[in-house]
Structure formats: C-alpha cells, structure tokens
Amino acid sequence: MKKQLYLKTIKGKGRGVFCHTAISEGDIIEVCPVIIIAAEEFTALSTTPLMDYSFYFNKEENTLSLTMGFGSMYNHRQYPNAVYLLNREERQMVFTAHEQIKAHTEICINYGGEYGKDYSKWFVDREIIPL
C-alpha cells in the first residue's frame, strides 16, 4: 500500500511531514531520488536557503544532495521515529520507520543521521531554538 504523505505547518517549526495512515516499524516510508551538487557548487549553495534542505552526498568530497519527494522536508528530532539511509549507487535516500508511527503523527529524522545524536549546533548556527 502506497503511503499517503502530506505536509502540515507546525507552530515554531515550519512545515513537517505526516502520513494519513499508520506506519509499522521497519516499513519503508519513502524512497526519494537525489540530485547531486558538485563540490565546486558547495560554496554557492551554502549561501542560499537550499543549504538547509540538503544532505551530504559525500562529506569527504564536499558534495551535497538535494532529496526530492518529501525527503528534504522531514524535521529533526534527537530521538526520531524514522531513519534515513543514502544509497549512493542508486542515488536515492530511503526513509524507514524506526518505530510504529500513528496516522497523522509527524515523521521526524535525526539530522546527524545517528539515533540520539545531539545535533543542536545545526540549530545554533541558524539561530533557531529547537522544540
């Protein structure tokens, strides 16, 4: 069954991703194609709002990726209900439920990519107070 994802505005956070139906732990939420941003474009992109919606494709090479679908819209949570994995070969980002997610519950990831990792520097750098 295809997930029916949707965006909803959340006070103090902006837009977040939700699903009309419950999602079981381990279920794939979404498989998103990614657009690769070359290292020579890194500096130019980092001065735009798009930087806040990108993921490192290869940190050592300073390449970024913009994730299509809802991929760049998931909000951060230190202990998220979803995780993501970048498949560099297929140029896809796969989002999976880390736990049971009830219908109409915000789906969140950890921006550091590591469950429980404190990623407050990302917010401090942007003068955002995380909820």
Dump pLDDT digits (tens) for 7-66: 999 987 889 999 999 999 999 999 999 988 888 887 777 787 777 777 778 888 888 888
Domain ranges, ordered by start, for the chain: 5-112
pLDDT for the residue numbered 4: 92
pTM of this prediction? 0.82
* DSSP codes, the chain: ----EEEEEETTTEEEEEESS-B-TT-EEEEEEEEEE-GGGHHHHHTSGGGGGEEEEEGGGTEEEEETTTGGGPEE-SS-SEEEEEETTTTEEEEEESS-B-TTPPBEE-TTSSTT---HHHHHHTT----
Q: Which CATH homologous superfamily contains domain 5-112?
A: SET domain (2.170.270.10)
Residue 131, pLDDT above cutoff 80: no
